[in-house]
A and B are shown apart, each in its own frame.
Chain A
């Protein structure tokens, strides 16, 4: 078995706001192996982006702070690194592609300037070399007429093309980990498919690990080897993609899967999970999903469950599956 490239252990990232402490990331653990793709799914506000930003050390502080946990990258804890060391990792070892390509590129600089500066921030190469590499990268991600296009400004590109530029930029220093935060959410469906295809192609060519953040299980099914499901800042289930779809355990995961529209002719109504996620400043006692859970038990309102192993490489945070363990303890 390959050693993990990234291993996040019991990460807690909180925001200390005037109206209370927001536990944006609240005990999240997972690992990613080289060349593999991990999906992180969950509703809006479940802490997916903040998990990613924690890895890059870009939590806005104040009010945010990584309260505890470990983020081991190639065996070293990123939380113990200085700002300067982190800067050398960002964009080089770990790079990121964001959700909205329309606003993620600087509008007043040409694509050339934005690509070249990324390369030169990390490698001692001439402007000319950086420029040549930028051309290659843009070509690789499928931008036509690169020589002319590279001189243009972001507003002269379509959304899909901008996301390609973002991807090219993220790939410019051959990162071993690429974090993509909902990279296709803001795009048209056809463009979405193309961009996902591009991710797969790039991964094959460059052999990097990818963390694909999404709230779309369709995307997960398409590109991910493993999945982490998050709910209200907590990791609630983690396993292989196939295992999750065939044998998902957590009531929240099951709810998510039932809410995927299927292309079947029967007019059955889509099941949606009733209710809303909790206010992260005033979390309920016990399991955070309990108020919306179909299988809620009395215990759930009192006891917060831990991540429990249900089978090889499959963990769930739910009392339904913790019975045995607790029973043993008693």
Chain B
């Protein structure tokens, strides 16, 4: 198992090199002069030359790529053209916000989706089954931005029970350790901040969770229905095991495999959904950061962030593959 993980990690190197080449080329694929497209029509030739010098655009591509890579390996992701801040520093602030939101949404989607799927399968054709599967059908077809806006309108404007934007109310004090606010507030035992952070993450979290939750619920249901018909489930009943154990252990562990594939895929989609969700809920994360960078043509930010996100995506894929092994001993990794 360990050997397998190490080998898979080694196999990531060429993938990451490929990704780095693509993100590196990004800046050069823009038609015309990259410096001008970043600074706009009104920039003077002196300003353009300064930026070219700063970004090293006058060097050969190979030298530029070498510098790009060696900078990244040293943890230097460049500086933002507009704010002049270190991108690595800014990402260190924003990445945890996005990861926290995504994980929150994913955990919500998995817990609710799997549970709803299992109950729907066990009580097939019951009112619960009909209700949750109709809900799931809506869930996959609702546009996130519409859902987000409706939730803001309902919970923030009409009932005024949940905040519509941000990660935390300004004025609430929180000592940051990991920059994951839910974790930090728990670590420091700061209940007031925890409650505030939870209230903030709820709406964007639900908006982001909706689609994966619906897909997971449907997948779990059909997979469970299939598994519950299998001979080994009949054996489990004949052995006198409790129904709860049969459903949640014997059946679910088998039924989870196709669900795991869906979860892995949804993580990718989730990162895309994060851009939309973060924009609607003014969530100070990477999605919004990139969105603003694209608008402002701040290419170094776009470049570095895409690289980081691609790397995260590749690691999630690896994690899914490893989990597969846990859920299905029949898979051989040789």
The interface of chain A, by Cβ under 8 A from chain B, is: 56, 58, 87-92, 95-96, 98, 100, 103-110, 117-118, 121-122, 153, 155, 166, 169
Alpha-carbon distance between A79 and B327 when the two chains are bound, in angstroms: 38
Alpha-carbon distance between A104 and B238 when the two chains are bound, in angstroms: 11
Partner of B238, one of A90, A105, A106: A90
Known contacts A106-B254, A108-B329; decide if A169 and B239 are in contact (CB<8 Å).
Answer: yes
Alpha-carbon distance between A56 and B230 when the two chains are bound, in angstroms: 18
Interface residues contributed by chain B, number (CB under 8 Å)? 20
Contacts of A103 in B (CB 8 A): 230-232
Alpha-carbon distance between A262 and B125 when the two chains are bound, in angstroms: 52
Tell me the smallest distance from the CB of A70 to a CB of chain B, in Å. 21
Nearest chain B residue, comparing its CB with the CB of A83? B243
Q: Are A89 and B240 in contact (CB under 8 A)?
A: yes
Q: Are A121 and B232 in contact (CB under 8 A)?
A: no
Known contacts A89-B240, A90-B240; decide if A108 and B235 are in contact (CB<8 Å).
Answer: no
B52: interface (CB < 8 Å): no
Partner of A58, one of B237, B242, B327: B237
Q: Are B232 and A56 in contact (CB under 8 A)?
A: no
Alpha-carbon distance between A110 and B328 when the two chains are bound, in angstroms: 11
The interface of chain B, by Cβ under 8 A from chain A, is: 230-232, 234-242, 245, 250, 253-254, 327-330
Alpha-carbon distance between A104 and B242 when the two chains are bound, in angstroms: 18
Tell me the smallest distance from the CB of B277 to a CB of chain A, in Å. 35
Partner of B240, one of A91, A104, A110: A91
Partner of A107, one of B232, B237, B242: B232
Query: 28 A-B residue contacts at CB 8 Å?
Result: A58-B234, A58-B237, A87-B241, A90-B237, A90-B238, A91-B241, A92-B240, A98-B234, A98-B238, A103-B230, A106-B235, A106-B236, A106-B250, A106-B254, A107-B232, A107-B254, A107-B329, A107-B330, A108-B329, A109-B253, A117-B239, A117-B245, A118-B239, A121-B239, A121-B240, A121-B241, A122-B240, A153-B329
If over half of B's interface residues share one DSSP class (helix, strand or loop), that class is named, otherwise mixed; here it is helix
Tell me the smallest distance from the CB of A120 to a CB of chain B, in Å. 10
Contacts of B245 in A (CB 8 A): 117
The residue in B234, B235, B250 that gathers the most chain A C-beta atoms within 10 A of its C-beta is B235
Q: Are B232 and A105 in contact (CB under 8 A)?
A: yes
Q: Are A87 and B235 in contact (CB under 8 A)?
A: no
Contacts of A122 in B (CB 8 A): 240
Alpha-carbon distance between A309 and B232 when the two chains are bound, in angstroms: 40
Q: Are B238 and A108 in contact (CB under 8 A)?
A: no
13 extra interchain contacts, Cβ-Cβ under 8 A, other than A90-B240, A106-B236, A121-B240?
A90-B239, A91-B238, A95-B239, A98-B231, A98-B234, A103-B231, A106-B232, A107-B232, A107-B254, A107-B328, A107-B329, A117-B239, A166-B235
Nearest chain B residue, comparing its CB with the CB of A92? B240
Alpha-carbon distance between A103 and B232 when the two chains are bound, in angstroms: 6
Alpha-carbon distance between A100 and B231 when the two chains are bound, in angstroms: 8
Contacts of B236 in A (CB 8 A): 106
Alpha-carbon distance between A96 and B231 when the two chains are bound, in angstroms: 12
Tell me the smallest distance from the CB of B333 to a CB of chain A, in Å. 15
Tell me the smallest distance from the CB of A178 to a CB of chain B, in Å. 11
Known contacts A98-B234, A106-B250; decide if A88 and B240 are in contact (CB<8 Å).
Answer: yes
Contacts of A100 in B (CB 8 A): 231
Q: Are A95 and B330 in contact (CB under 8 A)?
A: no
Known contacts A87-B240, A91-B240, A108-B253; decide if A98 and B329 are in contact (CB<8 Å).
Answer: no
The residue in B239, B250, B328, B330 that gathers the most chain A C-beta atoms within 10 A of its C-beta is B239
Alpha-carbon distance between A96 and B238 when the two chains are bound, in angstroms: 7
Contacts of B235 in A (CB 8 A): 98, 104-106, 166
Alpha-carbon distance between A88 and B239 when the two chains are bound, in angstroms: 9
Contacts of B327 in A (CB 8 A): 108
Nearest chain A residue, comparing its CB with the CB of B235? A104
Alpha-carbon distance between A118 and B239 when the two chains are bound, in angstroms: 6
Alpha-carbon distance between A169 and B238 when the two chains are bound, in angstroms: 11
Contacts of A110 in B (CB 8 A): 329
Contacts of A87 in B (CB 8 A): 240-242
Contacts of A108 in B (CB 8 A): 253-254, 327-329
Tell me the smallest distance from the CB of B315 to a CB of chain A, in Å. 25
The residue in A98, A108, A121 that gathers the most chain B C-beta atoms within 10 A of its C-beta is A108
Tell me the smallest distance from the CB of B88 to a CB of chain A, in Å. 43
Nearest chain A residue, comparing its CB with the CB of B251? A106
Contacts of B330 in A (CB 8 A): 107, 153, 155
Nearest chain B residue, comparing its CB with the CB of A93? B240
Tell me the smallest distance from the CB of B254 to a CB of chain A, in Å. 6
Contacts of A88 in B (CB 8 A): 240
